[in-house]
Amino acid sequence: MYAHGQTVIQLVEKLAPKKLAMEGDEQRIGLQVGTLQKEVRRVLVALDVLEPVVDEAIAKNVDLIIAHHAVIFRPIRHLRTDLPQGRLLDKCIKHDIAVYVAHTNLDVAAGGLNDWLAEELGLAQTEVLFPLSREKLKKIVVFIPTEHVDAVMNAMAEAGAGWIGNYSHCTFQIPGTGTFMPREGTNPFIGQQGALERVAEVRLETIVPASIQSRVIRAMLDAHPYEEVAYDVYPLEQEGAPQGLGRKGVLPEPMTLAAFARRVKERFGLSGLRFVGSAERMVHKVGIIGGDGNSFIPQAAAKGIDVLVTGDVYYHTAHEAMALGLALVDPGHHVEQVMKRRLASYLSEALAKEYPGTEVFASEICTDPFSFL
Ligand SMILES: [Zn+2]
């Protein structure tokens, strides 16, 4: 059994909803080449869609590439197959390879790229470094006949309702009596047409991020035995978890900047990196922002961190960080390649049960343009 293209992408967007994309980036995410209206047997996860990556996809009979960096970054003015970009797009089309991009939406997503980077560094007590917004919350209240409470609760919890901090399945349940009279044209689960029914029911209430409200309601309706389900949705004043770019956290113990830089080098399997600041200074609180974090460096200094890990650091931004007393470690933009393995295993696991035929794997092509000597 193979997954449909849309099914695969629904799983990507469950992790990294498109609406999380940064302003200006929303035009460069999503499906960029080909179609999702097809069966998908093999999925390749890549950081960059360069020609060798497309060749790898062709050699491995891939139907869909999921990439972090856009394959079409600026609007194209021509599709010339005698030029590199046109040749690459032509290969994708000829081999029916779709290309889907999850960029800043994957960076911002809870459990997405910046969390993966923080985990690779072994940071604890991780939180968002630059909050952009907070999730809106809703309360869903549903009335369930007593013996079906657990089934409905579990379905709602599996769809993402009932999280408070690191606690899942948070609900409150009050027993009571539900009344109803089935009328003409009904097919009641309990009772008969024209007779007033009194049923032992439970009022179950739980909290849900507004972004997944419809998914939770669908799961609730599917698990509920009634033909017509009584439920209410309330907007809440309090806000959910902050969403944003970068993460901050603490190292297991303070260490020198040089030791920390070595740790970064080892954890990301690098042959070299650059750092800014005195090698002997102690660092404990660490910020990390995948890709190019230049524009965030001045604000990072105000976030109470000792060192910021980010790529593509400019000469003058490094001077700025020094003046602000913020140490920097620049492991390169390419450390974002952890997304290949992480996203591939997330998708493999999510698809395994229903669509065991669909294979998802990480690209084996290294797209780091830089070498060290
Ligand atoms: Zn990047």
DSSP codes of every residue in 168-235: -S-EEEEEEEEEE---TT---SSS-TTS-EEEEEEEEEEEEEGGGHHHHHHHHHHH---SS--EEEEE
Query: What Rg, from alpha-carbon coordinates, does the chain have?
Result: 25
Which SS3 state, helix, strand or coil, does residue 149 take?
helix
Model pLDDT, residue 256: 98
* pLDDT > 90? residue 107: yes
Model pLDDT, residue 241: 82
Q: By the 8 A CB rule, do 335 and 117 touch?
A: yes
* pLDDT > 90? residue 168: yes
Q: How far is the CA of 332 from the centre of ligand 1 (A)?
A: 10
Model pLDDT, residue 240: 83
Model pLDDT, residue 133: 83
Strand order in the sheet with 307-311: 171-180, 197-209, 124-145, 231-256, 282-292, 307-311, 327-330, 274-276
* pLDDT > 90? residue 239: no
Strands (E), the chain: 3-4, 30-33, 39-40, 42-46, 64-67, 98-101, 124-145, 171-180, 197-209, 231-256, 274-276, 282-292, 307-311, 327-330, 359-362
What residue has token string 């090698």?
A: 279
Q: How far is the CA of 333 from the centre of ligand 1 (A)?
A: 6
Q: How far is the CA of 310 from the centre of ligand 1 (A)?
A: 10
Q: How far is the CA of 285 from the centre of ligand 1 (A)?
A: 23
Q: How far is the CA of 293 from the centre of ligand 1 (A)?
A: 10
Q: How far is the CA of 191 from the centre of ligand 1 (A)?
A: 60
For residues 130-154, give the mean pLDDT.
94
Q: How far is the CA of 199 from the centre of ligand 1 (A)?
A: 57
- Characterize the bridge pairing of strands 42-46 and 39-40: unpaired
Q: How far is the CA of 47 from the centre of ligand 1 (A)?
A: 8
pTM given for the model: 0.83
Q: How far is the CA of 204 from the centre of ligand 1 (A)?
A: 43
Q: How far is the CA of 239 from the centre of ligand 1 (A)?
A: 29
Instruction: Tell me the pLDDT band of 165, cut-offs 50, 70 and 90.
Output: confident
Q: How far is the CA of 77 from the centre of ligand 1 (A)?
A: 24
Q: For residue range 294-320, list pLDDT tens digits in order.
A: 999 989 999 999 999 999 999 999 999
Q: How far is the CA of 142 from the centre of ligand 1 (A)?
A: 43
Q: By the 8 A CB rule, do 250 and 123 touch?
A: yes
Q: How far is the CA of 290 from the centre of ligand 1 (A)?
A: 6
Q: How far is the CA of 336 from the centre of ligand 1 (A)?
A: 6
- Characterize the bridge pairing of strands 39-40 and 3-4: antiparallel
| pLDDT above 70: percentage of residues in the chain | 100
Residues in Cβ contact with 176 at an 8 Å cutoff, skipping those fewer than 6 apart: 201, 202, 203
Residues with CB under 5 A from ligand 1 (ion): 291, 336
Question: Residue 264: what are its φ and ψ, rounded to 5°?
Answer: -60, -45
Q: How far is the CA of 74 from the centre of ligand 1 (A)?
A: 15
Question: Residue 274: what are its φ and ψ, rounded to 5°?
Answer: -115, 150
Q: How far is the CA of 282 from the centre of ligand 1 (A)?
A: 28
Model pLDDT, residue 266: 97
Q: How far is the CA of 48 from the centre of ligand 1 (A)?
A: 9
Q: How far is the CA of 223 from the centre of ligand 1 (A)?
A: 41
Q: How far is the CA of 70 from the centre of ligand 1 (A)?
A: 9
Which SS3 state, helix, strand or coil, does residue 102 take?
coil
CA distances to 73, 205, 321 from 169, in Å: 41, 11, 44
Model pLDDT, residue 119: 97
* pLDDT > 90? residue 269: yes
Q: Which residue has the higher pLDDT, 233 or 187?
A: 233
Mean pLDDT rounded to a whole number for the chain? 95
CA distances to 235, 289, 360 from 352, in Å: 36, 31, 10
* pLDDT > 90? residue 92: yes
User: Helix count (H) and strand count (E) of the chain?
Assistant: 11, 15
Q: How far is the CA of 238 from the centre of ligand 1 (A)?
A: 33
Model pLDDT, residue 147: 96
Q: How far is the CA of 10 from the centre of ligand 1 (A)?
A: 22
Residues in Cβ contact with 140 at an 8 Å cutoff, skipping those fewer than 6 apart: 156, 161, 205, 206, 207, 208, 213, 216, 217, 220, 231, 232, 233, 234
Q: How far is the CA of 367 from the centre of ligand 1 (A)?
A: 12
Instruction: Tell me the pLDDT band of 352, cut-offs 50, 70 and 90.
Output: very high
Q: How far is the CA of 177 from the centre of ligand 1 (A)?
A: 56
Q: How far is the CA of 124 from the centre of ligand 1 (A)?
A: 23
Chain center to CA of 338? 13
Q: How far is the CA of 355 from the centre of ligand 1 (A)?
A: 30
